[in-house]
Structure 1
């Protein structure tokens, strides 16, 4: 029977080539979009799952509040990692890692400098995590002092090969060479870890600072600590025990509260908003951070695209139903049962869906090379793809085939054979109303996605073009990686300024739009008994304001090195300290933070005191997601943060030549140091890179939904024209014009799109307004965004149905009325 069903279905599909192609095209397009978005979502949802025990690995989160100032850091102390397995039975093991900056990593046999991040890890790191080793023993690779594990990419850059076991490397800040004891496979793209080397923690075992840490560090946030819990362990109960363990051995200062929680490794990528990562620079992390909100949005988009494609099949199948009425009648009159007819139509639907899947798989592999750069992924679909993706694909295809084929099957098989053989048309009001409802549903979803796309495009454009309070264009930011480039900064600045295409040069500890951690300080007016406030801190020179074109509101700029105790406040900081006229008022900065605990800042055994000499206009030194915070600009010769960057404003002409000249200046200062630079406007754009990628993905989702919805509208228009062919003939005989007939047929469908607008606009307004609240600075929703989306939907729908309407209106009335 199944063979017979398949044969009959193939014949039927072959006789109706146009509608078969329309059905396959619509479903293939829908499945293609579903698969592309599905691959993206699967990659996002499976971050860090390459570790076999990922479900039992947790990272420690420290929650600290100092008199109302709360910090949440993904970090813990040495003793927490060391002692917790001994006292908490639910912990199977712990490991810790830390980062202590960057330095040149050199292969002595080929002394080319590579500036690399120094990451330390204890000996248990590779036994708790399943980072695959190409060479080496994971149980011993990090056990001995002066050992290092590197990944394949770094091994190839340093040695030109991955066969490097036993070779030596030298970090420029370390006296002792490091022996390569292991080679790691490169991290998969969906990993929260981005280190390319691991220095054994044992390498620091004899250092005084490490001995002190190992003896007494109960409360710091200097390590990223990971716990492997035993099966079926309650993570919240372990969190409470961790807090109790720390507070038993460490007493926080009065006004300070300290607690710990555990975050599942599988949640790190998508659920780390508001958490500073102790092992990475927090701003870099934020740029790559996943978003549960967008995961939900794109999940709905993918499902709706597939659903809309299935609805189109239903509409197109019922649109051609009148051509199969007599076939069904004959089948039923010679004994075919309704179940047989249902099976026949379902087999046809599954065949069409199967053909569509094959076409979709080809399209996905053709489109992936273009799709991957858009979403910054390395997605593939082939024999090596995760089996769960294939199961999801087959299940979705089967389900959409059965659902989309079930309605036509039940409808067409339900009529009485006598009525069918008499040529009865299928025009039941209930069936037509259902199809109209489905079209309204399709266009409602499409309009919501179009509005969301317009709002997202507007917000991304706003973030990239809004006035940041400084001039970001043609700014080259050069990293300072060695003491030589710092000590001689005045002569280096002078050499840079001599380059004709360099307009201004400044040095600073951080730059606006900084991707690294910006230090914070406690600050208060001298003599005030109130609790110190918290402000961000950047060390700058006297050319900073001129180079960045930051406005000075009141007071004066820095003048010379005698201003080493002078500071400028932004307007927000001035309001915080209630300073309206800068006149050398003294402020105290008794403590500073690098992202964790506050550390004392002492000058001659007293808290650092500074004079407020000016107030600068507020400018965005962080992402537009964050409101402008209090900021202190201190002279670069300060006890809190030394300079880290040169920033040069250059001419737009001859940029490559200018960069070569800047490189020559830096090489003259330190020939062993690589020349690292970036353009500030590009770095700022990185803050919104994920938004831009999501914008592109949403644009294509909107295009997909509107195209598929129009295919459904085309099917309904075709069905309606066939049902009203004799009505049209009568109207033409009585003198109706082609324009009036086309208008008559089109208005029925335009009403559906207008209804969809009425439903979609309030929903879209609520959803986009909620999304915009993620940003401290955002656009205002405007009526034109919703009007534009509505007009686009109406215009596209009108173009879709007008073709079929005009075609029906041009038909010869003699042919349509001949049977009467």
Structure 2
């Protein structure tokens, strides 16, 4: 019996090729978009879930409150981590991680070297987390001093093999080589860890002075600490016990209070907004809630696209239902039971959705390599894919088939054969109203997606084209990674400046648009007793304004080493200090912050300086932040050493110029690797995620509009078929092709108009809320809505007019003869 149902269903699908094709294409598109976006969303939501104990691992967050500020730091002290596993019963183990800058890591056997971030951890890191090992035993890899764990990529770069446990590496900062105790598989893309190498903490504990310092460390936040709690432990209770333990051994300074909380590992990636990371000072610990907002948007878009595809199918199926009256009537007349008819019609509907399901799986696997490259992920759709994706997509497909087939199955099968054979018009006015409502919903979503895409495109373009207050083009930034190069900076600047293709060169502590932490300072005019103000700090030389093409508005520029007690302010800092004209006003800087809390300068003496100039405001941070006060001191200052050379070069022979710069640095320190990048490319990375989201929205908008148009095309075809006799009569009475086309098109254009009216206010609210993420953003102009509406109307008109014109051109003799 099932075989007969399938055979009859296949015949019916082949008989109605147009509607079958529209249904399958629409559902396939919808399911494909749903699969791709679902894989992306699930991957983001399952960060760090590959560790078996991820539900029991927590990150320690320190909350430090003073009269001036309250900050949350993903960091804690050495003793808190060490004593928690001894004194707090719910804490089974703790991991400590810290970082110490960059240095060369070298394979002495083949002299291959890489400039690596120095990451140091105790063995708790390997015991708590489940890192897959390719060689060696990770569970004991960081126990012994002078041990190092490296990941797969680093092993291949330095040795050409991953089977290197037992071999040694030389780190530039230590005389004794480090023994490789384990090689880990590369971190999955949905991991919060990104280290390439980890040195054993025990290496440094052999120093009695350092060990004594650590044993007295109760109140700092120098370590990123993870705690493994026992089953059913209460994180809030454990955090309170940590606070009590710290206060029992450490008394904060007056006015300062400390508190602790435990953040679940599964929340680190998406719920770390406004939490500073002690292992990467000055930067947020994770993308934060803005990424969570985008995930919600993408999840909604995935559901909307699939919903539109399902609505199309149900619309077209119910619209065609009344054309099957005679078929069902004959079957009932020859003895078919109602249950058999219902089963047959449902099988036909489920067959369509099953075909679409299979095609969408094939299509997703075809596009996933390109999608992964674009999103920088490792998504796959196979047997290892999260079962929730398979289950939700399969259930949605089956549910769509059952819902779409339920109308003809339940409605038509209940009528008598006599009524059905008399061509009963089973369609009710309420059915048509429902279809109208579904079309309105489809196009409202489509118009919203069009507006969102236009706004995101305009904002990304605005970010790329906005005047930053300095010229970022053809600026080559070279890292200063050794003391020898730092000491020889004047010589290096002179030699680089003499290169024929170098226009200007400058040394700075940081560069505009800095991707590392930018120090902040407390400032006030000398002798004033008002509250100290906060500003960012930049160490520069006399060539800075010319190299970066920053406008000096008033006063004078630095002239040389005699300016070590001089500063230049940006406009915002000058206003903050009520300085309208620089005239050697004295200011003092008593404290500085390098990403966490403010602390007095070394030696406890404030940096006293005179204001000699004011520069025009320029964007030294991303456009998500407003221009803040900035103090620029001469490069010889007590707050921050120089860290970069920046050269403005000519476009011609750029690679030869960079090679010549590398040779100049190699003469000073041949062992130091040459690191450089173009500043404009680095700045673009700040907005790379926005560009990716823009592209994803464009494709989703196109998919949404395409699927909606497929449904509109199908309904227009059906509407033309239903009115074929009316069209024939009108043509006989002299109606023109234009008037007939207008007659058939207007009903659908009215629905699109209603959809536009619904979508506009929703899009206005949603997109303005998104733009608030940026301190500098576009204003959504009226023409954006007009353009989106015109696009929707044009697409709908083109979709409907084809069928309308085709019906209007039909010979009225043929159309009336069929009746």
Q: TM-score, normalised by structure 1?
A: 0.97
How far is 1:515 from its partner? 0.7
Alignment partners' CA distance in 2, 1:404 and 1:477: 61
- The answer (yes or no) to whether the contact 2:268–2:286 under 8 Å persists in 1 is no
Structure 1 match to 2:605: 606
Structure 1 match to 2:690: 691
- The answer (yes or no) to whether the contact 1:288–1:690 under 8 Å persists in 2 is no
SS in 2 for 1:279: helix
- The answer (yes or no) to whether the contact 2:106–2:169 under 8 Å persists in 1 is yes
The 5 Å alignment of 1:282-431 reads 282-283=282-283, 291-431=291-431
What do the CA deviations read for 1:473-514 (whole angstroms, capped 9, x no partner)? Answer: 111111111112111111111111111211110111110111
Structure 2 match to 1:138: 138
- The answer (yes or no) to whether the contact 2:138–2:181 under 8 Å persists in 1 is no
The 5 Å alignment of 1:175-324 reads 175-207=175-207, 210-280=210-280, 282-283=282-283, 291-324=291-324
- The answer (yes or no) to whether the contact 1:269–1:289 under 8 Å persists in 2 is no
How far is 1:41 from its partner? 0.9
What do the CA deviations read for 1:207-254 (whole angstroms, capped 9, x no partner)? Answer: 356324322111212110111122222222322332232233222222
Runs of 4+ in 1 over 6 A off after TM superposition: 287-290
The answer to which of 530-539 and 432-441 deviates more is 530-539
- The answer (yes or no) to whether the contact 1:313–1:405 under 8 Å persists in 2 is no
Alignment partners' CA distance in 2, 1:491 and 1:419: 100
Structure 2 match to 1:78: 78
What do the CA deviations read for 1:55-112 (whole angstroms, capped 9, x no partner)? Answer: 1111111222332222222111111111223333322221110001100001111222
SS in 2 for 1:775: coil
Matched, 1:57 2:69: no
How far is 1:645 from its partner? 0.7
Structure 1 match to 2:7: 7
How far is 1:309 from its partner? 0.7
Alignment partners' CA distance in 2, 1:653 and 1:416: 85
Structure 2 match to 1:529: 529
How far is 1:390 from its partner? 2.9
How far is 1:372 from its partner? 1.9
- The answer (yes or no) to whether the contact 1:435–1:716 under 8 Å persists in 2 is no
Q: Provide closer, same or farther for how the CA distance between residues 413 and 294 of structure 1 changes in structure 2, counting only shifts above 3 A.
A: farther
Alignment partners' CA distance in 1, 2:520 and 2:666: 32
Alignment partners' CA distance in 1, 2:394 and 2:255: 58
Alignment partners' CA distance in 1, 2:746 and 2:475: 56
SS in 1 for 2:140: coil
The answer to which of 177-186 and 755-764 deviates more is 177-186
Alignment partners' CA distance in 2, 1:409 and 1:613: 86
The answer to which of 692-701 and 213-222 deviates more is 213-222
How far is 1:776 from its partner? 1.2
The answer to which of 290-299 and 751-760 deviates more is 290-299
What do the CA deviations read for 1:741-772 (whole angstroms, capped 9, x no partner)? Answer: 00110000000000000000001101111111
Alignment partners' CA distance in 1, 2:381 and 2:778: 38
Structure 2 match to 1:721: 720
What do the CA deviations read for 1:384-433 (whole angstroms, capped 9, x no partner)? Answer: 43444333332332233333333443344344432221123344211111
Structure 2 match to 1:629: 628
SS in 1 for 2:587: strand
Q: Provide closer, same or farther for how the CA distance between residues 60 and 190 of structure 1 changes in structure 2, counting only shifts above 3 A.
A: same
The answer to which of 320-329 and 695-704 deviates more is 320-329
Q: TM-score, normalised by structure 2?
A: 0.97
SS in 2 for 1:523: strand
Alignment partners' CA distance in 2, 1:648 and 1:411: 77
Unaligned runs of 5+ residues in structure 1 are none
Q: CA RMSD in A?
A: 1.8
Alignment partners' CA distance in 1, 2:451 and 2:50: 38
Alignment partners' CA distance in 1, 2:727 and 2:18: 24
What do the CA deviations read for 1:330-359 (whole angstroms, capped 9, x no partner)? Answer: 122233343332322221121111111121
Structure 2 match to 1:648: 647
Q: Provide closer, same or farther for how the CA distance between residues 412 and 305 of structure 1 changes in structure 2, counting only shifts above 3 A.
A: farther
Structure 2 match to 1:119: 119
Alignment partners' CA distance in 1, 2:118 and 2:253: 32
How far is 1:295 from its partner? 0.7
Q: Provide closer, same or farther for how the CA distance between residues 560 and 615 of structure 1 changes in structure 2, counting only shifts above 3 A.
A: same
- The answer (yes or no) to whether the contact 1:319–1:716 under 8 Å persists in 2 is yes
Structure 2 match to 1:681: 680
How far is 1:278 from its partner? 1.6
SS in 1 for 2:198: strand
The answer to which of 795-804 and 106-115 deviates more is 106-115
Q: Provide closer, same or farther for how the CA distance between residues 213 and 669 of structure 1 changes in structure 2, counting only shifts above 3 A.
A: same
- The answer (yes or no) to whether the contact 2:149–2:181 under 8 Å persists in 1 is yes
Structure 1 match to 2:762: 763
How far is 1:452 from its partner? 0.9
Structure 2 match to 1:517: 517
SS in 1 for 2:332: helix
SS in 2 for 1:291: helix
- The answer (yes or no) to whether the contact 1:319–1:718 under 8 Å persists in 2 is no
- The answer (yes or no) to whether the contact 1:729–1:817 under 8 Å persists in 2 is yes
SS in 1 for 2:456: helix
Q: Provide closer, same or farther for how the CA distance between residues 329 and 517 of structure 1 changes in structure 2, counting only shifts above 3 A.
A: same
Alignment partners' CA distance in 1, 2:502 and 2:582: 32
How far is 1:144 from its partner? 0.8
Q: Provide closer, same or farther for how the CA distance between residues 3 and 118 of structure 1 changes in structure 2, counting only shifts above 3 A.
A: same
Structure 1 match to 2:808: 809
How far is 1:259 from its partner? 1.7
Q: Work out the number of aligned pairs and report it.
A: 819
Matched, 1:164 2:161: no
Alignment partners' CA distance in 2, 1:221 and 1:528: 33
